[in-house]
Amino acid sequence: MLFKRKKTLQKPEIPTASLGDITFLMLIFFLVTSSFNTEMGLQIVLPEESKETITVLSKNIVHVRINRFGDVRIENDPVEWTSVADKAIELLNQPNGDSLIFSIIPTRSAKYDYMIRVFDQLKIAFEKTQKKEKISLSPAEDDEM
C-alpha cells in the first residue's frame, strides 16, 4: 500500500535546460575543427613571350640541371639536392651575388617532384639571404643517353 503511493507521486522528466549548452558546444567544436580548403604553393612568374630578348651576362646565370634520376648539377658540379640551398647561399654571398639568376633546367623525363625540390631549396636560399628572388624555369632539355 505504502509502496504503491510513493510510485505515483513522482513524474519522470528529462532535464532540457542544458540542451542549449550542448548544441552550443557542438557548434563551437565544429566551427573550430572544420578547416577550409587552403591552398599552399610556390609562386613563380613565368617569362613573357616577348620579341626582344633581354641580354644577361652569362656569368650571372647559374644553371641548375636536374636529370631523370634526380641528380642535381649546379654549373656542372654534382650537388646533393638537400644541399642545394647551402650551395646557393654560398653563391649568393659572393661579390656578384646580387645579380645572380638561377635557372632550373630539368630534363624531359625528370620527375616533377625533383624540380619542385630544387625550386624549394632555391626559394629557401633567397629567403635566408633576403635577396630579391630571381629563379627562372627553363624549357626542358633532352635526356642524355
Partner 1 sequence: MKKHFEKVEETSPSIPTSTTSDIVFLLLIFFMVTTVFRTEQGLRIDLPQALSSKKIETKNLAHVWIGYDGDRGVVSIDDRIVPIGQIKNIIEQKKRVNPNLIVSIMADKNTPYWISNDVFGQLIKANALHVSLSAKKVNAIK
Residues that bind partner 1 (CB under 8 A): 16-17, 19-21, 23-24, 27, 31, 37-49, 66, 106-117, 119-120, 123-124, 127, 137, 139-140
* Residue 39: CB minimum distance to partner 1, A: 5
Question: Which is closer to partner 1, CB of 8 or CB of 18?
Answer: 18
Q: 115 CB contacts (<8 Å, ≥6 apart)?
A: 66, 104, 106, 137
For partner 1, which is the closer residue by CB, 96 or 128?
128
Q: How far is the CB of 121 from partner 1 (least distance, A)?
A: 8
In angstroms, the Cα distances linking 92 to 27, 58, 61, 72, 113 are 51, 16, 12, 18, 24
| Cα distances (Å, whole numbers) of residue 30 to 19, 26, 33, 56 | 17, 6, 5, 54
With respect to partner 1, which residue has the nearer C-beta, 14 or 57? 14
- Residue placing its CB nearer to partner 1 in the complex, 102 or 119: 119
Residue 102 C-alpha cell reads as: 638561377
